[in-house]
Amino acid sequence: MNKFISGFSKLSKLEKIKWIANTYFSTPEEVEALLTTYWNADEKLQLLHDEFVENTITNFYLPLGVAPNFLINDTVYTIPMAIEESSVVAAAAKSAKYWSDRGGFKTSIIGTEKIGQVHFLFSGSSQKLQQFIQSIKPLFYSNTDHFTINMQKRGGGILDIILKDKTDLVPNYYQLHATFETKDSMGANFINTCLEEFSKTLLSQAELCTDFSEDEKNIQVIMSILSNYVPNCLVRAEVSCKVEDLADSTIKNPQEFAEKFVRAIQIAEVEPYRAVTHNKGIMNGVDSVILATGNDFRAIEAGVHAYASRSGKYSSLSHAKVENGIFTMWLEIPLALGTVGGLTSLHPLVKFSLEMLKKPSAQQLMQIVAATGLAQNFAAIKSLTTTGIQAGHMKMHLNNILNQLEASDDERTEVRNHFKSNTVTHAAVVELIKKTRNTI
């Protein structure tokens, strides 16, 4: 069957579903029932969700959990986390409670600078181009005044514009490298709008430049786009306490634990295979809050992992040390976030999440997110260096296995009781369910 279709976007939502169901499935009625089941009963709310993206057919739900007891800079937060991985919220909450008795998380903003670039080709004298850019630099600002006036009122705007010579990498390649302050908005649309105006100014002024030859006037703009690599939009999160205060039910020898913990972090600093999984654990916490607050987790992921590779080798985002009897763990992470614009005023659960976080500014949200990532990382390394990570993870995963097997309430009770003292594996759960059903 030919599966190409013209005019798909013009079909109604139900027509789209029917086409998909009839084209790809042997039981189209069941598919239609499944997709329409996930529609919101409130038509106005469903329409709002439908208009977030193109060709919407239904809603794809993720659980929204909360991790209470986060003490961040002496303020207590309950943090919203949208994620499907079973153990993440539990680990964050456990870590938050642990550190709430040991001074909590200390966070600070290192920088909030964001970056955009106009990439272009110029076949002429680099020195002549540099002089030209300096001469028209005031126009880059004045020609974007109508875009930047409101941002300037909030304390933001264009910070600087410089020319970068990249001809050693690509023939004739230069860029206008611009830095921005976007305050409480993530700023993607603002930055891209400014960049496109820069490119217009660049081209129009080049045409008028009497110092340029006809060939030099023929500047070719390749693209104008923000960068999701924001190494100067940086936040630090830290926890620390006396080594002896690390003791709890799983840490009987705090000094040994601290030394082993620091060594585990050092391994992630020097071994990329470990660092990737190590940083993924940090991003479990980071991404879940990013999603819950309506921010762009793909942009954050890309920027964070580029930052982790800034030395030329992929390395840990977090660090730890023991000095003078004090255990300290910290991370510095680039986060370009917004608390206004985008979905923040549209998605009801995003609005809920931000209100639960006491309506933070973008800088406050950066600190909350960083603390969550650090909490997640501490919980993971603590488990790895003490009890092992699989026992807790698989017990949290047990619900998913039971749901897959469509276990009854009695079966669930028996299985949970059995695995209080036994290691959870998928095969072991299946075997126990089979035995239970065979004895009935």
Which position among 32, 85, 271, 414 bears the catalytic label?
A: 85
* Mean pLDDT, the chain, integer: 94
- Kindly report the CA angle at 147 between 146 and 152, in degrees rounded to 5? 95
Strand locations in 324-429 (E): 326-334
Please, are residues 40 and 46 in contact by the beta-carbon 8 Å criterion? yes
Indicate if 278 belongs to the active site: no
Pick the CATH number of 114-227 from 3.30.70.420, 3.30.1330.30, 2.60.40.10, 3.40.50.970: 3.30.70.420
Which position among 280, 321, 351, 426 bears the catalytic label?
A: 280
Higher pLDDT, 401 or 212: 212
Taking Cα atoms as reference points, which of 159, 195, 157 lies closest to residue 176? 195
Taking Cα atoms as reference points, which of 95, 52, 62 lies closest to residue 345? 52
Task: Please give the pLDDT value at position 391.
Answer: 59
Which position among 238, 296, 397, 411 bears the catalytic label?
A: 296
Strand locations in 73-168 (E): 75-82, 106-109, 114-121, 157-165
Domain boundaries, the chain: 8-50, 64-110+234-387, 114-227, 392-438
HSE, side-chain direction, 13 A CA sphere, residue 177:
11
274-296 pLDDT, tens digit per residue, is 999 999 999 999 999 999 999 99
pTM of the model: 0.89
286-341 pLDDT, tens digit per residue, is 999 999 999 999 999 999 999 999 999 999 999 999 999 999 999 999 999 999 98
DSSP, res 347: -
Angle between helices 272-292 and 362-385 (to 10 degrees): 140
The distance between the two most distant Cα atoms of the chain, rounded to a whole number of Å, is 94
Which position among 16, 393, 397, 411 bears the catalytic label?
A: 393
166-190 pLDDT, tens digit per residue, is 999 999 999 999 999 999 999 999 9
Q: With 90 as the cut, is the pLDDT of residue 415 above it?
A: no
Name beta bridge partners: 76. Answer: 71
Indicate if 211 belongs to the active site: no
* Residue 176, SS3 per DSSP: strand
pLDDT band at 235 (very low <50, low <70, confident <90, very high): very high
Indicate if 145 belongs to the active site: no
pLDDT band at 440 (very low <50, low <70, confident <90, very high): low
Indicate if 30 belongs to the active site: no
Question: Residues of the chain with pLDDT > 70: what percent?
Answer: 97
Task: Please give the pLDDT value at position 390.
Answer: 60
Q: Hey, what CATH topology would domain 64-110+234-387 get?
A: 3.90.770
Task: Please give the pLDDT value at position 286.
Answer: 98
Helices (H), 293-342: 297-308
* Residue 31, SS3 per DSSP: helix
Instruction: Average the pLDDT over 194-199 and give the result.
Output: 98
Task: Please give the pLDDT value at position 178.
Answer: 98
Please, are residues 284 and 88 in contact by the beta-carbon 8 Å criterion? yes
Q: With 80 as the cut, is the pLDDT of residue 2 above it?
A: no
